[in-house]
Amino acid sequence: MRVAIVDGYKDEPAGLGVPPYPDVYARYAAGAVMLAGAGGVRYFTIDQLRGDWPGSPRLLAGHDVIVVVAGVTTPGKYLGGLQ
């Protein structure tokens, strides 16, 4: 079984979902899929799929399962840092 994980980005401050760091939920899904013995896991960001929108269905068509991780914007103000 081949699985594709599409990271639609969630706005969760503790999620580390900002590229190049996959969101925790995408990592959880990948771990569960590997534990289940899937033949392969492929990770896509939504930006990768948007970049080749006509070709994206072909990229995903070769997979048996597609997991989409997405969410709504989390309201509130968060502390930021400066470099």
Question: When comparing pLDDT for 45 and 10, which is higher?
Answer: 45
Question: What b/e sequence results for 22-38 when a residue is b if at least 16 CB atoms lie within 10 Å of its CB, and e otherwise?
Answer: bbebbbebbeebeeeeb
pLDDT in tens, 32-76: 999 998 888 999 988 889 888 888 999 899 899 999 988 766 666
At residue 82, the pLDDT reads 57
Rg (CA), the chain: 14
Q: Is the CA virtual torsion 3, 31, 43, 41 positive or negative?
A: negative
pTM over 0.85: no
Q: What is the pLDDT of residue 26?
A: 86
